[in-house]
Amino acid sequence: MRPYRIAFFTDSFREDLGGLTRAVIGLHDVLVARGHQVFVFTLPQREGRIHQGNVFKVPALPLPPVGFVPPDSHLAVGPGWVEARLRELQPEIVHLHTPYSVGWLGLRAARRLGLPVAASYHANPAAAGAFLLRVGFRAAPQLPQEAGRSLAARALATFYNRCDVVIAPSRYAAALARESGVRRAVTVLPTGIDAALFRGVLPGAGESPFPADSRRGAERREGPRRVTALYAGRLSAEKDLGTLERAARACLAADPSLCLRIAGDGPLRRRMEARLSSLVRAGRVEFAGPVPWAEMPGEYRRADLFLFPSPVETQGLAVLEAMASGLPVVACAAGGVAELVEHGQTGFLAPPRAHRELSAWVLELARKPGLRRALGRKASQAAGRYDWGEVVLAFEGLYGQLRRGVLK
C-alpha cells in the first residue's frame, strides 16, 4: 500500500491530556511509522507539551477558563488560513477527530476544496449534554439534563452529517451516532493500544501497592501484602464517581487487605479527596493525581485488579490498557466497555450504578488470587486484538476507499 497524505484536525494534540487525545496521538504515530504523511491542525496550548509531528497551530482566540473543556480554552478562528494551508499541503484525505472549533474549520475547508472527509465519533451526547448544561446554561438551571443531551445530539448530527464517513470506536458509539441523527455511513474501527507497553507485567508480584515512601509503606512491607484495586480516569461527573465511592467504601469495609488507588485528575478530585479523607488517612485509599502516559504501565503493574464504573465510555482505553497489563476488570455493563470485558472470563460486569454488585465482584477477586491470575491472563490475550499493529490496517483500508471514492 502506497503512503497517504492525511490531514488531522483535533482540538488537542497535547500529551498526557485524556483518552481522546491519546487516541489521536496513537493513530498519528503508527501511521507515521508506516510511512504516511500526517499533518496535524490543532490549537495552541497554555500548558503541557504538544506532541511531536508535522503540527500546525490554528489561529485562535484565548478564552477565560471554561470548566473541564480541553484544551486550555481557545477558540479556533481564521477559516481562510486553514484553507490556504490545505491548498499548500495537498492532502488526499481529511480526518476530523473533534466536532468543535478546529473540526468545523477543517470540515469547511475540506468541503470547499473537494477533499474526502472522515470523522471520528468519540463524543457521548450524555457527557456533552452535561457540559452544555454546566457551562452554557448557568442562567437557566431549571433545564433538565435531557435538554442538554438533546441539544448535544443535534449539534453532533449537524457536524457528522456533513462528512463522507463516520468512524465509531465501538458498536455502542455507532448506535449513539445513529440515535443522535447521524445519517452518513458509520463504520466501527476501535482505537488501538501499544500492547507491548503493557504486556509482561505480573500484577501482585510482591510489590508494595503504593510507593515506598508512602505513609504506611513500612507497615505494609512488614505485614501481609495488600490487594490493590486501581481506578484510572478523569475525575468528572460523567464517570459516575458516586458509584465508585460507594463501591469502594463497601469493599474496603469488608476486606482489610484491600486498598484503592485512584489515578487521574479532574473537576471532582478535591471533592472526592474530601469525602474519602478518613480512608486516605487510614492508608486504604490513595490519590495519585495526574499520571503521565509514560508512567501508566507502572500504575497497572502495582495493581491487582481494575475498577471502572463509568457508564458512558464510547470505548474505554484505560480498560484496554488494564487488560493488556493482565488485570481482571470490574466494570459497568454499559457503553463500549461492555464490548471489551467478557463477564466471568476477563473480568466481571455489573449494571450501571450497582455499587453493591461492583463491590461483591471486587471482593471475589481480592480473596481469590488464582481467579485474578486466570482472568488476568485471558484479559491480556483479549486486549492483544486491539494492538495498533493490527488496528491500523483497517484505518488504511478505509483511507484507501475514501481516496478512491468507493466507500462500502
Condensed to tens digits (0 to 9), the pLDDT of residues 247-293 reads 999 999 999 999 999 999 999 999 999 999 999 999 999 999 999 99
Going by C-beta distance under 8 Å and a sequence separation of 6 or more, which residues neighbour residue 18? Answer: 12, 70, 234
Same domain, 264 and 125: no
Q: How far apart are CA 296 and CA 318, in angstroms?
A: 9
Residue 79 in this model has a pLDDT that exceeds 80: yes
Q: How confident is the model at residue 66 (pLDDT cuts 50, 70, 90)?
A: low
Average pLDDT over residues 199-223: 41
Q: How confident is the model at residue 153 (pLDDT cuts 50, 70, 90)?
A: confident
Same domain, 98 and 25: yes
Q: How far apart are CA 383 and CA 105, in angstroms?
A: 35
Q: How far apart are CA 398 and CA 401, in angstroms?
A: 5
334 to each of 166, 172, 309, 327, 359, how far by Cα in Å? 22, 9, 9, 19, 17
Q: pLDDT value at position 314? A: 94
Same domain, 239 and 278: yes
pLDDT more than 70, % of the chain: 85
Of residues 141 and 51, which shows the higher confidence score?
Answer: 51
Q: Which of 223, 224, 278, 281 is nearest to 249 (CA)?
A: 278
Q: How confident is the model at residue 201 (pLDDT cuts 50, 70, 90)?
A: very low
Same domain, 10 and 155: yes
Same domain, 22 and 146: yes
Count of domains in the chain? 2
Average pLDDT over residues 45-68: 83
Q: Are 332 and 350 in contact (CB under 8 A)?
A: yes
Same domain, 171 and 275: no
pLDDT more than 90, % of the chain: 75
What CATH number is given to the structural domain containing 107? Answer: 3.40.50.2000
Helix (H, G, I), strand (E, B) or coil at 224: coil
Same domain, 172 and 220: no
Average pLDDT over residues 313-331: 97
Q: pLDDT value at position 146? A: 60
Same domain, 61 and 138: yes
Q: What is the mean pLDDT of the chain?
A: 88
DSSP secondary structure code for residue 387 in this structure: B
Q: Are 120 and 22 in contact (CB under 8 A)?
A: no
**In which domain, by residue range, is 393 found?**
5-192+387-404
User: For the chain, how many residues are written?
Assistant: 408
Q: pLDDT value at position 45? A: 83
Same domain, 124 and 156: yes
DSSP secondary structure code for residue 54 in this structure: E
Q: How far apart are CA 403 and CA 138, in angstroms?
A: 44
State if pTM tops 0.75: yes
Average pLDDT over residues 25-53: 94
212 to each of 231, 279, 401, how far by Cα in Å? 20, 19, 53
Of the listed ranges 6-10, 42-46, 245-249, 291-295, the one predicted with least confidence:
42-46
Average pLDDT over residues 26-54: 94
Q: pLDDT value at position 147? A: 55
Q: pLDDT value at position 75? A: 86
Residue 220 in this model has a pLDDT that exceeds 60: no
Q: Are 26 and 192 in contact (CB under 8 A)?
A: yes
Of residues 150 and 43, which shows the higher confidence score?
Answer: 43
Average pLDDT over residues 384-401: 96
* Residue corresponding to grid cell 480554552: 73
Q: How confident is the model at residue 92 (pLDDT cuts 50, 70, 90)?
A: very high
Same domain, 176 and 316: no
Same domain, 188 and 200: no
Q: How confident is the model at residue 224 (pLDDT cuts 50, 70, 90)?
A: low
Q: Are 74 and 62 in contact (CB under 8 A)?
A: yes
Of the listed ranges 131-140, 198-207, 259-268, 364-373, the one predicted with least confidence:
131-140
Q: pLDDT value at position 68? A: 46
Same domain, 270 and 308: yes
